[in-house]
Structures are given as structure tokens and as C-alpha cells.
Structure 1
Amino acid sequence: MRGIRARNQWTLKQMSEKCGIPVSTLSKVEHDRLTLSYDKLQQVSERLDIRMSDLFAESESREGPVVTGRRSIGKIEDAVQVTTDNYDYHYLCTDLRHKRMIPIVTRIRARSAAEFGDLVKHHGEEFIYVIEGSIEVHTEFYDPTVLEQGQSIYLDSSMGHAYVAAKGCEEAVVLGVCSSSGEGLLDALMNLRSNAAGK
């Protein structure tokens, strides 16, 4: 947030007027004393006409890809949380820009394909590992399959898919890693989750 404000040479008051977030809140965010909710991040993104992923990075992007030396420690308490009817997403390592892999810890609450709704699809591939409970995986071209704790699946994300808690399981927790060779994967995922949340 501070970087965006500095690049535009805005005061805190000007930034507040443009994005609709109180000055005191912006100050706390800039000094790492407060984290904006997903709804507020979406509001800032829309009002400032910038990508959602640009709000997660701590420093300005560099020209060209960074070849070596990148790292980020993923802590669940620092994750960006997005809640939808079916899932609670925790996006990890959001301080790095232009990632080819998006790590997400997800709590799955939907208990049937009917409750979940339409299958989702996006570009790239994804890997899902079951940490707690068991899940039932629904895909566009395959019969549903159940994965128990410790099991995993790798699939083409452009194929319609959905993850629901398996029979007898109230909720499940999975680690997902979404990847793509193209740019903008995080934005695509956030827009997908946002649309799902709005249903």
C-alpha cells in the first residue's frame, strides 16, 4: 500500500479519498499493524483500478523474471483469507510477485456436488494434498473419486472440477498448489473465488 501511494505521490488523505479507506486504517496497514479484509482489498483494487495481486506484494516489481534468490516464508496467520460458500482459502507467500505456483491451504465445507454448484475451471494445473479429513473429487471427464488423509491428486485445471467433503466428513483441509506458465494466475484465481463468493 505504501509503495502504491509513493508511486502516485499521494498523501495518506489523498489515498484515503481515492480508495474509501479511512486514513487511520491506511496508516496501520502501512506500518504492519493491521491487515485489510478481502472485501476491503477488492474495494481498493476496483477504486484504484489495479490488480488484486499488486496489493499483496511488498516491493515494486522488477523488469524481467527473477532467476534466483527468491523465497517467502508461508505462515497461516499471515495468509490472505478468502471465504466463499464452499471453501475458506488461505493464500500463502503473497509477498512474492509473478509466482508460477500459488500455494493455498483450503478448508472444504461443501458436502455434495449439488451443494457445491457448477464445476469451476481456470488455466494451468493443480496439485491437491489432503491434510485432514477426506474429500470427494468431481471432475468433468472422470467419475468422482475419494481421497483420504495423506493422499493427493494432480489435474488439469481447465477441466471442470470441484472438491467436497467426503461422506461422513464434516470438513476437510487440503494443501493446494496451482501453477501456470502464463502470467496473471493469482488474479484469475482471486476473480474466480470472488465470483463464487458473490453467488
Structure 2
Amino acid sequence: MSEDSENMREPLHETLQVQRGETEATLQPLRLGERVRSLRLGQGLTLEEASKLTGLARSTLSKIENEQISPTFSVVHKLVNGLGIDLPQLFSEPSNSAQPSGRRDITRRGEGKPHPTATYEHELLATDLSHKKMVPFTTRVRARAFGDFPEWIRHDGEEFLYVLSGAILFYTEFYEPVRLEAGDSAYYDCTMGHMLVSVSEEDAEVLWVTA
């Protein structure tokens, strides 16, 4: 008996019963086969290609997609690794918000909204869109020393930093300062204290994207 056959003995998904007080609700299981097919086709993969990536037999993948068998955790693990996805992606239906919304905003060079501070000169981008999931902006770093900041900068979310020109020292609360030059980048938790200072002859320019 093949390993794949062994993995098919016990179904992974069952109808779940949730009881809260005297109220009992039934949660219908996700049609996992349809989800696997959707993820495979979304990557432009044939069954044969997906078989090579996941290490599962082509016939096994076909049976999963046609709801003829239900995979156990070891098979799910192969699907997740082979398709390069996260486990929640496999067990979550695509939300309506994933459909194209038609939102778009273009910011021409120099037409962003200026927001100067004592240490930075920000230019806010895509300002015509509200309720953005990301906040992009460019910054000219005026600060030249750690002491130019009265305290650490902290705020909610995560942040991506990309140096456009010049060089900076990137200070973070729990790490040693690191020098970043044009083309270097960093991604970090911005609830951690952080700040930038220019160390090049000219003020450095950076792109920030905050989520």
C-alpha cells in the first residue's frame, strides 16, 4: 500500500459542532477539493506539475480535487509546502474583498502631500484613496545624529524601508545601528522604537510603506 493510500484512511475535515450555552450551530466543512483546484489553477499548474511539486501522485491529487478522498494532515502538509501557500489559505474561502475593486491612485513626481517635521521631510503618496491597507511615503532624512530625536519613534503596524539615495544609520530599539545605502532595505515591527539619520554628504532619501 502506498504512502498516499495510508494517508487517506481518516478524513481531515468533518462537520463541526459548536455549542454555546443552549445554542448549537453546525459549521459546514469547506469543499477542500475545489479549494485545492482553485489554488493550483491560480498558479497556472497542471496536475502533473502540481504532482511533482507536492510529491503526491497525480491520481491522488485528482481524487482530492474531485472530493473522492479527503487528505490527512501529512498530505495537507505536502500540499501546503508544494504549492507554496500558508495553511490558512488552504482552509479559507476567498473573500469577496479579493475581487477587483477598481481602486487606483497615481502620484506624479513632486505632487505628493508634503509633511515636514524637525527630523524628516515626508511626501505622502496616494493621498486620494481613503481606508488604505498600506501607507506609502517618501522621506528626505534631515536628522544627522541620534540626539536630534527627543525619543524613539513608535507606532502600530509593520513597515518596509527602502533607501532611494544617500546613506542612513538605521537605529532600532533592540538591535545595533546598521548602515543602509541606496538599494538596501529593511522590514520591521514599528511598535519597536526606530529612527533614521543621514550619514551621507547629502540628505538621504527613503521610501517607506507602512501597513
* 3-state secondary structure, aligned to 1:143: strand
Q: Which residue of 2 aligns with 1:156?
A: 189
Q: CA RMSD for the aligned pairs?
A: 1.7
1:130 corresponds to which of 163, 172, 178: 163
Does residue 171 of the first structure (1) align with residue 203 of the second (2)? yes
Q: Which residue of 2 aligns with 1:193?
A: none
* 3-state secondary structure, aligned to 2:176: coil
For structure 2, the residue ranges without an aligned partner over 5 or more in a row are 1-95
Richer in strand (by share)? 2
Distance 2:127 2:97 in 1: 17
* 3-state secondary structure, aligned to 1:121: coil
* 3-state secondary structure, aligned to 1:76: coil
Superposition deviation, residue 66 in structure 1: 8.5
Q: Whose relative contact order is higher, 1 or 2, with alpha carbons under 8 Å and at least 6 apart?
A: 1
Report percent identity of matched pairs.
43
Distance 2:202 2:116 in 1: 17
Richer in helix (by share)? 1
Contact 1:126 1:156 in 2 (8 A): yes
Contact 1:140 1:161 in 2 (8 A): yes
**TM-score normalized with structure 2 length:** 0.52
Contact 1:76 1:92 in 2 (8 A): no
Superposition deviation, residue 77 in structure 1: 2.9
Superposition deviation, residue 72 in structure 1: 1.0
Does residue 139 of the first structure (1) align with residue 139 of the second (2)? no
Q: Which residue of 2 aligns with 1:72?
A: 105
Larger Rg: 2
Distance 1:117 1:134 in 2: 22
Does residue 81 of the first structure (1) align with residue 81 of the second (2)? no
Alignment of 1:35-50 (within 5 A): none
**TM-score normalized with structure 1 length:** 0.55
Distance 2:154 2:98 in 1: 29
Superposition deviation, residue 98 in structure 1: 0.5
What whole-Å deviation, never above 9, does each CA across 1:15-44 have from its counterpart, x for those lacking one?
Answer: xxxxxxxxxxxxxxxxxxxxxxxxxxxxxx
Distance 2:112 2:206 in 1: 15
The aligned amino acid for 1:160 is G
The aligned amino acid for 2:198 is A
Cα pair distance change 1:170/1:117, threshold 3 Å: farther
Q: Which residue of 1 aligns with 2:152?
A: 119
Superposition deviation, residue 78 in structure 1: 2.3
For structure 1, the residue ranges without an aligned partner over 5 or more in a row are 1-63, 180-199
Superposition deviation, residue 117 in structure 1: 2.7
The aligned amino acid for 1:170 is E
Contact 1:108 1:172 in 2 (8 A): yes
**Aligned residue pair count:** 115
Distance 2:173 2:203 in 1: 23
Superposition deviation, residue 74 in structure 1: 1.9
Q: Which aligned runs of 4 or more in structure 1 are off by greater than 4 angstroms?
A: 64-67
The aligned amino acid for 2:129 is L
